[in-house]
Amino acid sequence: MAEPAYTVASDSENTGEEKTSSAFPEIAIGIDIGTSQCSVAVWNGSQVELLKNTRNQKLMRSYVMFRDEIPTGGVSSQLSHEHEILSGAAIFNMKRLIGRVDTDPVVHVSKSLPFLVQTLDIGVRPFIAALVNNVWRSTTPEEVLAIFLVELRAMAELQLKRPIRNVVLTIPVSFSRFQLTRIERACAMAGLHVLRLMPEPTAVALLYAQQQQQTVQDNMGSGSEKLALIFNMGAGYCDVAVTATAGGVSQIKALAGSTIGGEDILQNMMRHLLPNAENLFSSHSVNEIESIGILRIATQDAIHRLSSQTSVQVDVDLGNGVKICKVVDREEFEEVNRNVFEKCESLVKQCLHDAKVDVEDLADVILVGGCSYIPKIHNLVTGICRKEEIYKGMNVLEAAVVGAALEGAVTSGISDPFGSLDLLTIQSTPLGIGIRIEGNQFIPIIPRNTTMPARKELAFTTVRDNQTEALIVVYEGEGHKVEKNHLLGYFKIIGIPPASKGVPEINVCMDIDASNVLRVLAAVALPGAQHPAVPVMEVRMPTVDDGHGWCAEALNRTYGSTMDLVTLQKKI
Amino acid sequence: MAASLGPAHQFLAPKHSHIHHAFLNTGKPVSSCRQRYGVITCCGRKARRSLRLEKNYYELLGVSADSSSREVREAYRKLQKKHHPDVAGQQGHEYTLLLNEAYRVLMRDDLRRDYDASTGRVGTRFRRGCSDIGYSSWKGPVRSHALFVDANACIGCRECVHHASNTFVMDDELGCARVKVQYGDDEQKLEVSAESCPVNCIHWVEREELGLLEFLTQPQPKDGYGVFGGGWERPSNVFMAAKTLSKQLKEQPATTTAATEEETPAQAKARADASMKIKMEKFSRFWKLAELFGLNTWNKK
């Protein structure tokens, strides 16, 4: 793989339209792009198999090195030493950066990474660059991800001896729809077509459903419903799901997720070991980058050792006369990361609450992801769920990709004579979707944890007399105020028949199909009218592009409340 | 939310997948959208109600009107496995939307009661088969025993509500307590509240009996004869009444128990017909309306 075929097949935003059926049954592969590691799996006719790269690795580091003319990713490139990734020439953690604007706190935290993350704090995409021969060469998270995906694709094609087009990708629960479009964009750039995007814990849930079905078949037992909590925490994100499983069907009862993960634990520890680290590394000179790299590796190593030891000695020379010599024990580690663990706890509690499930009724608790090795994580999840033991039979690092490969086989229409693919995942929406009303209020039309596919509708009306235009601004999130939520897009309804305020009826309908495509429809009518006053608008969301951070503000400044809507109080 | 149930169907009618694809494939101009969605508000308020009545969730899921939530769930899963877009492709979209809506309504006691009421099906759940889950909902899995308040004995002291407020509620209209959520509190609290009752009117009963008991303890409209009677009544000894009724029910031929068994071809056909009927009705309505005001659009072209 000296020269990966880096071809940008399509730069189109609308890649989802041909999502129907393919002419020949091609099995979609499952890809799990983790913040730190990534893997590929495929249904090989009798079971799911993880593909290995030329160095026999099933789990590959997620990074792209911009050292030579042709960038190389973690799939094919050979590292002489871990330090190389941290030399500034490699971009990693793209999953934490993709689809975020430069006012996002997650982007700000990433500024202490060895490569360059620059922010202007105005709501545009951050400037990201890799150090190549002492030059900061700019790139984007999408491009980095695409290069990486091309390598993965080439690897899979070589081994499966067929072209690969369809993929099922796992994603964090907390990704906004805008971020999903960025992932789809990266896939399109790599010539891949996204069949499904699965939140990571739901992929694990599907694997669990398969395992349960097999044990039921083996024991000839009853196929009664089993409730399970899945906690997945990797380097970048923490996700929780509650699934109800019976007969190979995994029904997602609730999802909860947040941008919190091993990376935060690592940063907290680095700050703990070297309190003024940010000031020391603010200018990203070559020496500084080297020091960051050394500190990062030492800290990572200490965290790993703290999973099995109760205290570790950190002894490292960062150069430039800065030396760290410290003993860190587990209590200290847990105290330093208290905010992370508290967030995890609240996610688990919230998910159980949303699922309306009592901890006593949980049949199993499943813990996956790299952070599940941390004793504190283990204890807090078992503590909340009042379970002595964690479900066995899940490979902590491979469960998600196996689930994605299963879904890939199911959606490709593959069936298995032994019933191993007699599976189905019934997904639900991780975030509420709604529109802006009365200035800055957010009203969800499809609430969180609605079973997909979903279609809901609400009626709205005008706020002024003879208002002929209305702005539909679509947001995603849970905040009562729109500022707290993600902007997905906006459009204007024109030609509302002149009438007193509160009279015209504006129906806004949202439709999400199984491949998670969101359509927003808006129709205007006067009460008692036989047909809509103007043609119905149908808009595929999200429509926002880069720099959407200030769109909402600009709309507000330009139009104020002149085109506002309120909910229509139904007269019964 | 006020508009959660009814209005959701408005868009169902016009956006039938076949129609949708037909338009996409032929690449007709935007005006076709107008016809397509022209129907939306045409269905208006009046039509909405009839639309809801026509769509029989029970037939759609292939379960009897008195089926338990467990049966509904199993039927839902079985149908999902056949029709979910993951399996059936994009054409499964509309049908799955219907299934999701039916499941959502039938699985929630309050929504199901409203739905039953809107279709004039009140109480049918308790006519046949005694294994039903009654008026109280269950927190967590269904267990073998359940709590039941004998409303005749209850003096309305609120002692049980005080001790286990998540389980018991005071029915102010009837002046007695009743169980709202089975196992809404932990078992210790339940024991305390059962013992705290000064007239011992809180009983642990078999799950199978619960549905019947709760059904019978609700005041029933009494058949009136001539100028006499009418009004509401409930049996003075609800336990005896339950026994008698369940005996009567057993003597009736049990025809509905096969619902969870493997579907017979005839049943499958009946269900397919039901969903087909729903679809065809929508279809015809669509075309009728499209003709009504769509013709003008075509003539202009």
Domains of chain A with CATH codes = 29-199+400-424 (3.30.420.40), 433-567 (2.60.34.10)
Residue B91: closest CA among chain A residues belongs to which residue? A20
Residues of A in contact with B81 (CB under 8 A): 247-249, 422, 424
Q: Most distant CA pair in chain A: distance in Å?
A: 81
Looking only at the bridges linking them, the beta strands covering A37-43 and A48-50 are antiparallel
Q: Which residue(s) pair with A197 in the sheet? A: A169
- pLDDT at B21 > cutoff 80: no
Instruction: Tell which wins on pLDDT, B295 or A260.
Output: A260
Task: Give the closest-approach CA distance of B81 to chain A in angstroms.
Answer: 6
User: Looking at residue B219, what is its pLDDT?
Assistant: 59
At A166-194, the pLDDT tens digits run 999 999 999 999 999 999 999 999 999 99
Looking only at the bridges linking them, the beta strands covering A127-132 and B137-138 are unpaired
Percent of chain A with pLDDT over 70: 92
Residues of B in contact with A532 (CB under 8 A): 34, 37-38, 40-41
Q: Which domains does chain B have, with CATH numbers?
A: 7-126+257-300 (1.10.287.110), 137-251 (3.30.70.20)
Chain B interface, Cβ < 8 Å to A: 1-4, 7-8, 10-12, 15, 30-31, 33-34, 36-38, 40-42, 44, 73-74, 77-78, 80-81, 84-87, 89-90, 92-93, 96-97, 100, 103-104, 139-141, 293
Task: Give the closest-approach CA distance of A567 to chain B in angstroms.
Answer: 10
Q: Which residue(s) pair with A228 in the sheet? A: A243, A364
Q: Across all residues in chain B, what is the average pLDDT?
A: 64
Give the count of beta carbons closer than 10 Å to the beta carbon of residue B7.
20
- pLDDT at B157 > cutoff 70: yes
Going by C-beta distance under 8 Å and a sequence separation of 6 or more, which residues neighbour residue A296?
Answer: A86, A114, A266, A270
Best B40, B45, B76 residue to mutate vs chain A (most A CBs within 10 Å)? B40
User: Looking at residue B250, what is its pLDDT?
Assistant: 59
Contact (CB<8Å) A453/B104: no
Task: Give the closest-approach CA distance of A413 to chain B in angstroms.
Answer: 6
Looking only at the bridges linking them, the beta strands covering A505-512 and A486-493 are unpaired
- pLDDT at A156 > cutoff 90: yes
Task: Give the closest-approach CA distance of A546 to chain B in angstroms.
Answer: 29
* DSSP 8-class letter at B170: E
Residue A75 in tokens? 């799939």
**Among A446-455, B31-40, B45-54, B159-168, which range has the highest average pLDDT?**
A446-455
- pLDDT at B47 > cutoff 60: no
Task: Give the closest-approach CA distance of B233 to chain A in angstroms.
Answer: 31
Q: Could you list the beta-strand ranges (E) of A119-171.
A: 127-132, 135-139, 166-171
Q: What is the DSSP string of A281-304?
A: TTT--HHHHHHHHHHHHHHHHHHH
Please, which pLDDT band fits residue B23 given cuts at 50, 70 and 90? very low
Contact (CB<8Å) B11/A536: no
Best B12, B15, B48, B84 residue to mutate vs chain A (most A CBs within 10 Å)? B84
Residues of B in contact with A19 (CB under 8 A): 90
Contact (CB<8Å) A424/B80: yes
Instruction: Tell which wins on pLDDT, A19 or A301.
Output: A301
Instruction: Tell which wins on pLDDT, B161 or A2.
Output: B161
Q: Across all residues in chain A, what is the average pLDDT?
A: 88
- pLDDT at A8 > cutoff 50: no
Please, which pLDDT band fits residue B33 given cuts at 50, 70 and 90? very low
Contact (CB<8Å) B77/A249: yes
Task: Give the closest-approach CA distance of B265 to chain A in angstroms.
Answer: 21
- pLDDT at A104 > cutoff 60: yes
Residues of A in contact with B103 (CB under 8 A): 451
Residue A362: closest CA among chain B residues belongs to which residue? B140
DSSP H stretches of helix in A274-422: 277-280, 286-306, 330-336, 338-355, 375-385, 399-411
User: Looking at residue B217, what is its pLDDT?
Assistant: 72
Distance CA A552, CA A543 (A): 13
Residues of A in contact with B114 (CB under 8 A): none
Contact (CB<8Å) A514/B7: no
Phi, psi of A214 (to 5 degrees): -65, -40
Residues of A in contact with B80 (CB under 8 A): 249, 424, 426
- pLDDT at A122 > cutoff 80: yes
Contact (CB<8Å) B85/A360: no
Mean pLDDT score, A305-327: 90
Per this entry, what is the length of chain B? 301
Residues of B in contact with A411 (CB under 8 A): 86
Least confident of A58-72, A248-262, B19-33, B162-176: B19-33
Distance CA A553, CA A324 (A): 46
Task: Give the A:B interface size as CB pairs under 8 Å.
Answer: 123
Per the CB < 8 A criterion, the answer to whether A400 and A368 are in contact is yes
| B130 burial via Cβ count (<10 Å: 0-12, 13-18, 19+) | buried
Residue A249: closest CA among chain B residues belongs to which residue? B77
Task: Give the closest-approach CA distance of A385 to chain B in angstroms.
Answer: 14
Instruction: Give me the residue from A455, A530, A570 closest to B97, CB to CB.
Output: A455
Q: What is the DSSP string of B184-223?
A: -S-HHHHHHHHHH-TT--EEEEEHHHHHHHHHHHS-EEPP
Phi, psi of B90 (to 5 degrees): -60, -30
Mean pLDDT score, A327-332: 94
Q: Angle at CA A224, nearest 5°, toward A219 and A227?
A: 110
User: Looking at residue B265, what is its pLDDT?
Assistant: 61
Looking only at the bridges linking them, the beta strands covering A565-567 and A454-462 are antiparallel
Best B77, B95, B98 residue to mutate vs chain A (most A CBs within 10 Å)? B77
User: Looking at residue A345, what is its pLDDT?
Assistant: 96
Residues of A in contact with B44 (CB under 8 A): 528
Instruction: Give me the residue from A451, A509, A514 closest to B11, CB to CB.
Output: A509
Task: Give the closest-approach CA distance of A335 to chain B in angstroms.
Answer: 33
User: Looking at residue A250, what is its pLDDT?
Assistant: 95
Percent of chain B with pLDDT over 70: 48
Per the CB < 8 A criterion, the answer to whether A209 and A250 are in contact is yes
At B215-256, the pLDDT tens digits run 677 655 444 454 554 455 566 677 777 776 666 665 544 444
Instruction: Tell which wins on pLDDT, B287 or A545.
Output: A545
Distance CA A429, CA A454 (A): 9
At A55-102, the pLDDT tens digits run 888 999 999 998 877 888 888 777 767 778 888 899 999 999 999 988
Angle between helices A338-355 and A262-273 (to 10 degrees): 160
Task: Give the closest-approach CA distance of A563 to chain B in angstroms.
Answer: 22
B140, HSE (Cβ side, Cα atoms, 13 Å): 16
Mean pLDDT score, B164-190: 80
- pLDDT at A530 > cutoff 90: no
Task: Give the closest-approach CA distance of A60 to chain B in angstroms.
Answer: 29
User: Looking at residue A527, what is its pLDDT?
Assistant: 82
User: Looking at residue B296, what is its pLDDT?
Assistant: 35
Q: Which residue(s) pair with B213 in the sheet? A: none
Least confident of A67-76, A247-256, A470-479: A67-76
Residues of B in contact with A248 (CB under 8 A): 81
